[in-house]
């Protein structure tokens, strides 16, 4: 086509459509909004009965408390056992010192016995004591070693209790999140569609509550003939006239072109490889951003019919 204003009335306002769905299942307690009501981000749209979810939070809190108590008890046992190990090692040290002293005394008695200055009875008594101390030292060392191994066992149990505590904390966090999900709120400012649920109705996870159109964020989809796009480019000025508001002109610009014709996105795209062929001019969707709504921003709604004119006078093919 030649440069100039390119017009089409095959155009409509569009906007995002956000489904609002339940993230947890349950019976609906309240739906404090109406169809087509304007709402703010975070405003309550529906409330699911939360008794079960509150009970789950309480149960998870009890689980966390029990896990913490168990971890603390094992930690205290480990500390007590460490003291027992220290005491056992002290006994080993004392017995070892006594044995060393006994051996020195025995050696001295044996020297005295050799020169006739001591009796055999004294040496035998010290030897008996040596044997007793040797046996006692072995027993004390075994007890100290067993006490040390018990610390390792308690440490492993304590680590397991801490892991259980972390799992209970995660379960509590999940329970609290699910409780929060019983409050279904608007994700953004906008206008609601029709309500899909009513109080007392059961809703499954993922069940739709309503939908939200984040007005006034609207744009235009204009379906131009392919022959009109020759000189059209992104950024070119556009004028939009809404059928609902005769005489009013909205100003915008070309934002993007669809990557294919409308026929390519059809459920059954045409196949021209067989049979007779009749050439049909294709239409390409052009997205036009609305920069100036001429004071009508709050009244523009998706689906409204519009007429679009794009200033392609300076465009190059």
Least confident of 107-111, 165-169, 313-317: 313-317
Residue 224: per-residue pLDDT: 96
What is the domain extent for residue 285? Answer: 5-15+214-311
| pLDDT band with cut points at 50, 70 and 90 for residue 196 | very high
Q: Please report whether residue 128 resides in a domain.
A: yes
Q: Please report whether residue 92 resides in a domain.
A: yes
Residue 242: per-residue pLDDT: 97
Mark whether 250 and 290 lie in a shared domain.
Answer: yes
- Share above pLDDT 90 across residues of the chain, in percent, rounded to a whole number: 56
pLDDT in tens, 35-44: 999 999 999 9
The CATH number of residue 189's host domain is 2.40.50.100
Mark whether 259 and 229 lie in a shared domain.
Answer: yes
Mark whether 59 and 167 lie in a shared domain.
Answer: yes
Domain end marker among 179, 203, 226: 179
Residue 148: per-residue pLDDT: 77
The CATH number of residue 260's host domain is 2.40.30.170
Mark whether 227 and 207 lie in a shared domain.
Answer: no
**Per-residue pLDDT at 46 exceeds 70:** yes
Q: Please report whether residue 80 resides in a domain.
A: yes
Q: Please report whether residue 77 resides in a domain.
A: yes
| Domain count across the chain | 3
pLDDT in tens, 231-259: 999 999 999 999 999 999 999 999 999 99
Q: Please report whether residue 316 resides in a domain.
A: no
**Per-residue pLDDT at 1 exceeds 70:** no
Q: Please report whether residue 317 resides in a domain.
A: no
Q: Please report whether residue 201 resides in a domain.
A: yes
Residue 292: per-residue pLDDT: 92
90 phi-psi bin (left φ>0, alpha ψ -120 to 50, beta other):
alpha
- DSSP assignment string, the chain: --SSEEEEEEEEEEE--EEEE-SS-EEEEE----TT-EE-TT-EEEEE--HHHHHHHHHHHHHHHHHHHHHHHHHHHHHHHHHHHHHHHHHHHHHHHHHHHHHHHHHHHHHHHHTTSS-HHHHHHHHHHHHHHHHHHHHHHHHHHHHHHHHHHHHHHHHHHHHHHHHHHHHHHHHHHHHHHTEEE-SSSEEE------TT-EE-TT-EEEEEE-TT-EEEEEEEEGGG-TT--TT-EEEEEETTSTT--EEEEEEEEEEEEGGGGSSS---TTSS-------EEEEEEEEEE-TT-GGG--TT-EEEEEEE-TT---
Q: Please report whether residue 291 resides in a domain.
A: yes
Mark whether 246 and 297 lie in a shared domain.
Answer: yes
Mark whether 282 and 186 lie in a shared domain.
Answer: no
pLDDT in tens, 58-67: 999 999 999 9
Mark whether 172 and 276 lie in a shared domain.
Answer: no
Residue 216: per-residue pLDDT: 77
| pLDDT band with cut points at 50, 70 and 90 for residue 125 | confident
Mark whether 236 and 150 lie in a shared domain.
Answer: no
């Amino acid at each position: 086509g030649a440069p100039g204003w390119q017009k089409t009335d095959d155009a409509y306002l569009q906007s995002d459509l956000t489904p609002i769905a339940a993230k947890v299942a349950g019976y609906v307690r309240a739906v404090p909004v109406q169809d087509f009501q304007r709402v703010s981000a975070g405003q309550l749209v529906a409330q699911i009965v939360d008794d079960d979810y509150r009970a789950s939070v309480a149960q998870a809190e009890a689980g966390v408390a029990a896990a913490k108590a168990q971890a603390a008890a094992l930690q205290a046992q480990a500390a007590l056992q460490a003291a027992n190990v220290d005491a056992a090692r002290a006994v080993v040290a004392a017995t070892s010192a006594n044995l060393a002293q006994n051996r020195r005394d025995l050696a001295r008695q044996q020297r005295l016995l050799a020169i006739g200055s001591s009796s055999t009875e004294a040496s035998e008594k010290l030897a008996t004591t040596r044997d007793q101390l040797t046996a006692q030292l072995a027993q004390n060392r075994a007890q100290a070693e067993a006490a040390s191994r018990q610390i390792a066992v308690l440490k492993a149990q304590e680590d397991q209790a801490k892991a259980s505590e972390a799992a209970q904390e995660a379960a509590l966090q999940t329970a609290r999140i699910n409780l929060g999900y019983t409050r279904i709120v608007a994700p953004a400012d906008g206008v609601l569609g029709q309500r899909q649920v009513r109080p007392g109705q059961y809703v499954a996870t993922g069940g739709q509550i309503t939908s939200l159109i984040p007005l006034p964020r609207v744009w235009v989809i204009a379906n131009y003939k392919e022959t009109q796009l020759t000189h059209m480019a992104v950024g070119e000025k556009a004028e939009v006239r809404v059928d609902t508001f005769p005489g009013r002109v909205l100003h915008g610009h070309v934002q993007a072109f669809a990557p294919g014709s409308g026929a390519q996105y059809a459920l059954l795209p045409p196949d021209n490889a067989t049979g007779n062929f009749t050439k049909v001019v294709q239409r390409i969707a052009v997205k036009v951003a609305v920069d100036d709504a001429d004071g009508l921003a709050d009244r523009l709604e998706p689906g409204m019919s519009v007429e679009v004119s794009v200033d392609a006078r300076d465009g190059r093919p």
